[in-house]
Structure 1
Amino acid sequence: MWTGSSDAPPTARIAMLAPSLQPSERRVAEAIAADVEAAIERTAQEVARVVGVGRASVVRTAQSLDYEGYPQLRVALAREVALNSSTADDEVDGSMLGMLRGAVDRFAGRLSHTVSALTEENLQDFVRVLDESERVLVAANGLSAPLGLDLAMRLCLWAARWSTCPTRSRSRSPPAGSAPVRPAWSSRARERAGRRSR
């Protein structure tokens, strides 16, 4: 069931919830996300026929995404498509610089989609848990390794205890900068450590 922001578009909800949905609901959600325009035009019965599930599975999928039923999901999908197409209409010239600007604009437009699922309560809970953690393991490999290292460095700056789990290289030597670092503890972490040593 959806617990994120009520402003989150349907495709963001599908991306977040798909792994936790029942198999038939997941198939419906993936079919909707794969062809949003067709999902807007179809009835719940037509979606059920195309996906190969019962109509009730389509309605349950919409309800799992926090809509009353499939008609409300269709309206939300139409709204999302309309909002996305209004930003896509601002075409730029065919130059390389114009293409770069267009790519940056599309990326910037997707950032709000990425964070649309967050609520103030979820974010505060996450920050509280992170602040109360004695140790945070940052595991990243491949193309996400620089992002993992950046997060670990930011946590270090915030005086949190952390460690990384580097990708194994063929030479079996850890990549530069991947060794665990133990920065100065925050006052809260020092208090906890003092209580345990007593």
Structure 2
Amino acid sequence: MTSTISPPLGGTRAMLQSLVPSLVPSERRVAQACIDDPRFVAAASVAELAARAGVSPATVVRACQRMGFGGFQRLRELLIRDQAMPQDGPVPAAFEHPLEGVFSRAIEGIRGALGALDLAAFDAAAGRIRECGRLLVVGNGASLAAAQSVGLHFLTSGKVCESPVDIISQHISAKLLKPGDVCLAVSDSGMNNFTLRSAVLAKEAGAVVVAITSYGKSELAELSDYPLVAGADFHRWNDSTVTGNIVQMLLLSALHAAALGTLPTAIAARAEVYDEVRMMVAQPDRA
């Protein structure tokens, strides 16, 4: 491997989470040991980590290389570096109200969510969306609400944007895209077959595919031109909590802001929409 990944300060654990599904079981045990106890790994040798994960030292080295760290020493350096990041302790269990618990864990998850995100890819994707003639936003299952929300925001900012709800319309719209258009595909797992099909059709049509997903080696991330990966670490507590993917929504909001937030035409379009909504609300009830 000629280059190694370099997550931001505090982001190594989130990077590991985003890569776990792409590993074979023995390598996955190595990654999970790093996720479960990064302080131990930061001070451990290859042999000690191998013993903790129940694998051979060669598997530890291979896992580090597969994940893009180049070797164990590089992963260890990043984990040591991350120890310098201030950590807020959890709310003590004896005093934790369920509401406080949800919010404190969400804050913790959001703090490290960008560890796997390529900021250069984010900037490039925002630029392609800004310049495209037509934007298609697709999402299904648990990602449908986020896709619909950001689609509405692009539309109210004056961008020619479609965000069909039904699968057939998504596929037809993707197939009719042209070179220079953009398909923004939202799938937390990166494995939703309906969303993947739209992305494939958009790619075949010559459009640019921007992926919003939590896993860097997912099928959607692999086929996209700009994979924007964030939020895998969020799932370690969020799977049993009815909150939706907050990280996904924040990333989409940031993408919308980066693409159109300060454009004069977008600002004017949002002002017109606001005036229209205000007029509708001000209308007397004629029922």
Same fold? TM cut 0.5: yes
TM-score, normalised to structure 1's length?
0.60
1:31 aligns with 2:49: no
Cα displacement string for residues 99-143 of structure 1 (whole angstroms, at most 9, x for unaligned residues): 53454243223223112333431111121333426342321224x
Q: Secondary structure at the match of 1:62?
A: helix
In structure 2, the partner of 1:60 is 62
**Partners in 2 of 1:4 and 1:160 — Cα distance?**
36
**Partners in 2 of 1:95 and 1:75 — Cα distance?**
35
Q: Secondary structure at the match of 2:154?
A: helix
CA displacement at 1:88 relative to structure 2: 0.9
In structure 2, the partner of 1:76 is 78
- Figure out how many residues of one structure are paired with residues of the other and give that number: 169
Structure 1 residues 5 and 112 mapped into 2: Cα distance closer, same or farther (>3 Å)? same
Q: Secondary structure at the match of 1:87?
A: coil
Identical counterparts, % of pairs: 22
Q: Secondary structure at the match of 1:116?
A: helix
Report which of the two structures shows the higher radius of gyration computed on alpha carbons. Answer: 1
Supply the AA of the counterpart residue of 1:123: F
**Partners in 1 of 2:71 and 2:83 — Cα distance?**
19
Q: Secondary structure at the match of 2:62?
A: helix
Question: Given the alignment, which residue of 11, 16, 19 partners 1:17?
Answer: 19
**Partners in 2 of 1:16 and 1:2 — Cα distance?**
16
CA displacement at 1:25 relative to structure 2: 3.1
Structure 1 residues 60 and 95 mapped into 2: Cα distance closer, same or farther (>3 Å)? closer
Q: Which has the higher contact order (CA 8 A, sep 6+)?
A: 2
Matches within 5 A, 1:39-58: 39-40=41-42, 42-58=44-60
**Partners in 2 of 1:3 and 1:160 — Cα distance?**
36
1:104 aligns with 2:106: no
TM-score, normalised to structure 2's length?
0.45
Matches within 5 A, 1:1-198: 3=5, 5-7=7-9, 9-21=11-23, 24-40=26-42, 42-65=44-67, 67=69, 69-77=71-79, 80=82, 83=85, 86-88=87-89, 94=95, 96=97, 100-101=99-100, 103-131=102-130, 132=132, 134-142=134-142, 144-158=143-157, 159-166=159-166
Supply the AA of the counterpart residue of 1:48: A
Q: Secondary structure at the match of 1:137?
A: strand
Structure 1 residues 133 and 43 mapped into 2: Cα distance closer, same or farther (>3 Å)? farther
CA displacement at 1:14 relative to structure 2: 0.9
Structure 1 residues 90 and 22 mapped into 2: Cα distance closer, same or farther (>3 Å)? closer
RMSD (CA atoms): 4.0
**Partners in 1 of 2:20 and 2:160 — Cα distance?**
32
